[in-house]
């Protein structure tokens, strides 16, 4: 078992990585209310059935204010009050929703997470961002509030669909590319065993990823600056995700590869380093090529641009393990996208 502490001005969030962590629910001082993903409840019924719970319907289309309202009503029905500990259990969808509900119900109740997907354990459950989509636009409504604990229970990953697991590996690889060359080398050496969910490799990988995300979030919780580097591969990735309807990590894998090629075009990364990016993405079983419509991708990036004015802030690699953020004006971006696709 490993631990990572995330400290912010509002307090400490304790991230624990290991096997069989869900059994800790029985040791909590007060009886919690679980907000649990429906599939996780089906797959791990015996672990969670004894507790009071509300069910989060699976699927991104349920990440809405309507679901939030339904959950509030169920919590009222269960007699939840301001001191009730809420535990969000599931992947990123469930923890984003549960974190938002707990942050707003009665102006905020204490909460923690049990993260049950690889993507959730290395990314979504960490950093305090929570919320829902609005009219198809992702994460438009939300708060930043840290859970008091995140338990990354490795024993639960066995029931995850293999495609979902591999999608999570994309975010893992991302941390190596943007922040930690030694971790990158470790992943190059251990990808095969990671794909087999070897527990000691998995524990190291989840802990290192959580530690990197924690370090970045602690330095810049509100995403004024540094936290933006976590969006490496996501500018084009989000556009591909919407355009192709593939899983988030699959699109981010491709987005990282295209961002690496752009870094090369901008003189920041050598051709052999771009190959290295491609090899690692490929070794994880993630797609490295796909027929993309450049106009579609460009229009999707434009729509996604939201908060940043006229320029798109692109996270590029400046050598392996290092990033630089370049503002790219929209007209220039259009020709770049046409070049890359
Ligand atoms: N808050 C953040 O910082 C942050 C970061 C990244 C992503 N996200 C959000 O995370 C969400 C995606 O998260 P995700 O990839 O974990 O997907 P998800 O939560 O939708 O889970 C994927 C699928 O796996 C199922 N599942 C979950 N755990 C399982 C288990 N142990 N066994 C069997 N099935 C299981 C779910 O029911 C679902 O069908 C998106 O909504 C995204 O916006 C948030
Ligand atoms: Zn992501």
> Domain spans of the chain?
2-159, 162-340
* Exposure b/e, 102-116, CB count within 10 A at least 16 = b: bbbbeeebbbbbbbb
- Measured in Å, residue 332 CA sits from the centre of ligand 2 at 25
Identify the bridge partners of residue 56 per DSSP, sorted by sequence position.
37
At a CB cut-off of 8 Å and minimum separation 6, what does 106 contact? 80, 81, 82
Percent of the chain surpassing pLDDT 90: 88
CB of 63 closer than 6 angstroms to any ligand 1 atom: yes
Determine phi and psi for 278, rounding to 5 degrees: -65, -45
Average pLDDT (179-188) is 98
**Is the pLDDT confidence value at 305 over 80?**
no
* 124 Cα: distance to centroid of ligand 2 (angstroms): 8
Supply the pLDDT for residue 330: 84
pLDDT beyond 70 at 307: no
For position 136, what pLDDT does the model report?
78
- The percentage of residues in the chain with a pLDDT greater than 70, rounded to a whole number, is 99
* Model confidence pLDDT, tens digit, residues 100-149: 999 999 999 999 999 999 999 999 999 999 999 998 788 999 999 999 99
**CATH superfamily assigned to domain 162-340:** Dehydroquinate synthase-like - alpha domain (1.20.1090.10)
Q: pTM of the prediction? A: 0.96
| Cα-Cα-Cα-Cα dihedral sign, residues 145, 11, 172, 324 | positive
**How many helices (H) and strands (E) in the chain?**
13, 11
How far is C-alpha 280 from the chain's CA centre?
19
Give the active site residues. 107, 129, 171, 213, 223, 227, 231, 234, 238, 248
Determine whether domain 2-159 maps to CATH 3.40.50.1970. Answer: yes
The angle that helices 234-244 and 248-265 make with each other, rounded to 10 degrees, is 130
Residue 308 has pLDDT above 70, yes or no: no
Q: Inform me whether the pLDDT recorded for 306 exceeds 70.
A: no
Q: What's the CA-to-centroid distance between 116 and ligand 1, angstroms?
A: 8
Lowest mean pLDDT among 62-76, 169-183, 232-246: 232-246
pLDDT band at 153 (very low <50, low <70, confident <90, very high): very high
Q: What would the two tokens of residue 85 be?
A: 């500990």
Mean per-residue pLDDT of the chain:
95
Residue 138 CB less than 6 A away from ligand 1: yes
Report which ligand 1 atom has the smallest distance to the Cα of 131: 1
**First-to-last CA distance in the chain?**
43
Task: Categorize the per-residue pLDDT at 276 as very low, low, confident or very high, splitting at 50, 70 and 90.
Answer: very high
Which of 38, 91, 134, 153 has most ligand 1 atoms within 8 Å of its beta carbon, as the pocket-test mutant? Answer: 91
């Amino acid at each position: 078992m490993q631990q990572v502490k995330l400290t912010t001005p509002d307090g400490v969030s304790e991230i624990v990585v290991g096997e069989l962590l869900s059994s800790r629910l029985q040791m909590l001082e007060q009886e919690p209310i679980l907000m649990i993903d429906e599939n996780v409840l089906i797959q791990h019924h015996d672990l969670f059935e004894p507790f009071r719970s509300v069910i989060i319907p699976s699927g991104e289309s349920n990440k809405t204010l309507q679901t939030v309202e339904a959950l509030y009503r169920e919590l009222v029905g269960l007699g939840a009050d301001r001191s009730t500990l809420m535990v969000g259990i599931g992947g990123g969808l469930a923890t984003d929703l549960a974190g938002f509900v707990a942050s707003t119900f009665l102006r905020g109740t204490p909460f923690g997470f049990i993260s049950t997907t690889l993507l959730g354990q290395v990314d979504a459950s960490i950093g305090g961002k929570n919320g829902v989509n609005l009219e198809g636009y992702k994460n438009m409504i939300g708060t930043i509030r840290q859970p008091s604990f995140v338990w990354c229970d490795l024993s639960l990953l066995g029931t995850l669909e293999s495609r979902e697991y591999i999608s999570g590996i994309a975010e893992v690889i991302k941390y190596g590319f943007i922040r930690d060359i030694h971790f990158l080398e470790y992943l190059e050496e251990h990808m095969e065993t990671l794909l087999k969910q070897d527990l000691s490799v998995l524990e190291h990988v989840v802990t290192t990823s959580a530690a990197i995300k924690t370090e970045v979030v602690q330095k810049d919780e509100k995403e004024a600056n540094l936290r933006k580097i976590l969006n490496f591969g996501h500018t084009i990735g989000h556009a591909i995700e919407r355009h192709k309807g593939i899983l988030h990590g699959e699109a981010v894998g491709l987005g990282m590869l295209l961002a690496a090629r752009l870094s090369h075009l901008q003189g920041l990364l050598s051709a052999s380093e771009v190959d290295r990016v491609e090899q690692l993405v490929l070794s994880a079983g993630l797609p490295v090529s796909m027929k993309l419509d450049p106009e579609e991708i460009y229009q999707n990036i434009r729509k996604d641009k939201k908060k940043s004015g006229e320029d798109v802030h692109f996270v590029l690699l400046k050598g392996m393990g290092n990033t630089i953020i370049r503002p790219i004006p929209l007209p220039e971006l259009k020709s770049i996208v046409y070049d890359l696709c």
